[in-house]
């Protein structure tokens, strides 16, 4: 007696966003990366298509990250003062598929680098590596609004992913993406309605960005509200599959940044003997957080620890194996 397996049928899919541009496309990247395209829930290959695997990006700063845990000195200490060499190490030694360059030097509270200096740092990283590039501001809206137009202009043709656009501060970065052909990160504070509204506002400025938006619904680390941010990502994915065009965009999460702020990733084994060795605990916290979000349908993970990256990439390869029946 044969048994029919019931399969969910969806009427739509997640849109695709391409990062990077090769020489044939007007850029200098050695390869491009495509995000999204799923027509089913995460990794249910038997119900639909998962044409593009989730991608791991590694985080690089354009200044020495004095706030990072000291254990990262063992991996990046020799390149902290050179973002181009740092990016090269992430790609050549640690297997980064995309580089996320945070322009922390622009922060008015620290070095207050000029927009021109920031743009030059972006150009140096582009020359050093061939993978696609994500560029994030320092987090000061006023300064980022000055920096991003210069960055967009300096990297025209490279099809960067620029961030972040927020509901109260999206026009300058949207204009930079429109003028110079880049992708944009739309960040919302763990709120599905604000997420949709921001996408509407961006597309009101330019329908040309319809296939260039990546949603950042804001992630939380394991143990710090991950259930709530997971549920928002899950709702976005279900909405996309059910035909909501304002949710049908790939998603990104700054996993490393969130995890390495937690006490579990920073308190030493001397202070908490029962917690185990610090580095092993921290990297597993990062990898575990990443694995949770993979099940929510995340498409792009920004990570820090090389071993956490290795574990996560291996997990992705397993999840991408065909489970059709």
Rounded to a whole number of angstroms, the CA Rg of the chain reads 19
- What pLDDT does residue 145 have? 98
Beta strands in 188-256 (DSSP E): 213-216, 252-253
- What pLDDT does residue 1 have? 61
Q: pTM (2 decimals)? A: 0.96
- What pLDDT does residue 97 have? 98
| β pairing state of 33-36 and 16-19 | antiparallel
Contact 59, 256 (CB under 8 A): yes
Phi/psi of residue 284, nearest 5 degrees: -70, -30
d(CA 214, CA 136): 13
The tokens of 2 are what? 């044969």
Report the 10 Å Cβ neighbour count for 11.
8
Q: Collapsing DSSP states into helix, strand and coil, what is residue 255? A: helix
- The domains located in the chain, with CATH, are 16-319 (3.20.20.20)
Contact 318, 41 (CB under 8 A): no
Q: Within 13 Å and on the Cβ side, how many CA atoms surround 75?
A: 25
Tens of pLDDT, residue by residue over 125-159, are: 999 999 999 999 999 999 999 999 999 999 999 99
Contact 272, 297 (CB under 8 A): no
Tens of pLDDT, residue by residue over 46-81, are: 999 999 999 999 999 999 999 999 999 999 999 999
Cβ-Cβ contacts under 8 Å for 239 (sequence gap 6 or more)? 192, 247, 248
Tens of pLDDT, residue by residue over 204-253, are: 999 999 999 999 999 999 999 999 999 999 999 999 999 999 999 999 99
d(CA 97, CA 80): 20
Q: Within 13 Å and on the Cβ side, how many CA atoms surround 9?
A: 2
Secondary structure letter of residue 301 according to DSSP: E
């Amino acid at each position: 007696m044969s048994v029919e397996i019931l399969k969910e049928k969806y009427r739509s899919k997640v849109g695709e966003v391409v990062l990077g541009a090769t020489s044939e496309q007007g850029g200098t990247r050695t390869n491009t990366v495509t995000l999204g395209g799923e027509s089913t829930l995460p990794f249910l290959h038997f119900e639909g298509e998962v044409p593009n695997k989730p991608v791991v990006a590694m985080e690089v700063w354009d200044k020495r990250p004095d706030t990072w845990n000291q254990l990262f000195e063992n991996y990046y200490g020799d390149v902290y003062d050179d973002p181009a060499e740092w990016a090269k190490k992430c790609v050549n030694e640690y297997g980064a598929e995309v580089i996320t360059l945070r322009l922390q030097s622009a922060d008015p509270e620290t070095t207050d680098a000029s927009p021109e200096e920031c743009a030059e740092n972006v150009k140096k990283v582009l020359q050093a590596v061939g993978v696609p590039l994500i560029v994030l501001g320092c987090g000061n809206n006023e300064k980022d609004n000055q920096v991003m137009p210069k960055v967009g202009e300096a990297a025209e043709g490279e099809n960067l992913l620029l961030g972040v656009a927020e509901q109260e501060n999206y026009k300058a970065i949207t204009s930079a993406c429109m003028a110079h052909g880049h992708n944009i990160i739309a960040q919302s504070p763990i709120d599905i309605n604000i997420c949709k509204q921001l996408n509407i506002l961006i597309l009101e400025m330019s329908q040309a960005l319809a296939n260039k938006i990546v949603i950042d619904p804001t992630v939380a680390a394991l143990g710090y509200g991950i259930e709530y941010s997971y549920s928002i990502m899950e709702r976005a994915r279900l909405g996309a599959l059910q035909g909501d065009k304002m949710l049908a965009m790939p998603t990104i999460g700054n996993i490393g940044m969130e995890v390495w702020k937690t006490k579990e990733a920073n308190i030493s084994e001397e202070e908490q003997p029962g917690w185990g060795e610090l580095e092993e605990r921290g990297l597993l916290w990062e990898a575990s957080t990443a694995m949770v979000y993979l099940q929510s349908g995340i498409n792009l993970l920004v990570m820090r620890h090389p071993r956490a990256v290795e574990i996560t990439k291996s997990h992705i390869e397993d999840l991408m194996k065909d489970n059709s029946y």
